[in-house]
Amino acid sequence: MSNKNNHKNDTKEKQNNQKKENETDIIRENGQLMLEHNKEKYHIQLITIIGEIEGHENLGTNSKTTKYEHILPKLAAIEDDVSVDGILVLLHTMGGDVEAGLAIAELIASISKPTVSLVLGGSHSIGIPIAVSTDYSFIVPTGTMVVHPVRMSGTVIGAPQTFDYFKQMQERISQFVSKHSNISKKRFEELMMETKMLTKDIGTILEGKEAVDEGLIDEVGGLERAMKELKKRIRGCDDK
C-alpha cells in the first residue's frame, strides 16, 4: 500500500512540475499566464503587451516584442472558453505597428468578459488604444503615456493618397480612444499636435495622474487595485 501511495505522489509531483515548466515556457514565449490560485477560484487570463508591437514584419532578435499573431488567436480562444472569467492586460510598450496595435485594441474591446488594463512603465503611441480598450483602466503613479501623431517610416510615396491614408489612420485612432475613454476627440488631437513638450518632435507626455486627469485612464493604481476591480466586475457578471 505504501509503495502505491509513493508512486501516486511521485506521479502527481511530476505532473505538477511539468505544468510549471509548461507555464514558464508560455510566459517566456507569449507573456501569457492563467491566474487561478486566488481565494475566489476565478480563472483570470493574464495578457502582457511588452516591448514593441510587431506587425507583418519581424523585428530583430534583440528586440522585446509583442506579436499580434500570438495575441489575436489567444483573445479569440479566451472569448470561446467558458472557464475563463476575466482578462488582466499589463502594458509596458513603446508602441509599434499601428495596424497591429489597433487590431489588438479592437478585439479586446469586443470581448464579452470583464477586462481590466494596467499601464506600468509606459504605454506609448499605439499602446494607448490598447490601454483604453478594456472595461476599466489603471496606471501606476510613475507610468507614462506618449501621445503623438502617426509617424511615417521607411519608403514614402510622395502622393496625396499617401498623406490621406495617414490622416485616415490617425482619425481611426482618435475616434477609438475617445469612444473607449473619457477624453474628447478634440482634446486627444490637441495632445497629439502639441509642439512645446517633446524636443524635436510633436506630442505630449502624460504621467500617471495626468493621464487620469485628461480622461485617458480611469484611475491611478497598481496590481492590487487592478485585481480587485477585475474580480468585482467578474462577481457582477456572476450575479446577473
- 43 is annotated as an active-site residue: no
Residue 97 in contact with residue 127, Cβ under 8 Å?
Answer: no
Q: How many Cα atoms sit within 13 Å of 2 on the Cβ side?
A: 0
* Cell numbers found for residue 32: 501569457
- Among residues 125, 133, 137, 174, the one annotated as catalytic is 125
Assign residue 130 a region: left if phi > 0, alpha if psi is -120 to 50, beta otherwise? alpha
- Whether 123 is a known active-site residue: answer no
Q: 49 near 90, Cβ under 8 Å?
A: yes
Say which amino acid occupies 235.
Answer: R
Q: Which of 92, 148, 174, 180 is catalytic?
A: 148
Q: What is d(CA 65, CA 70) in angstroms, rounded to the nearest whole number? A: 11
Active-site annotation, residues: 125, 148
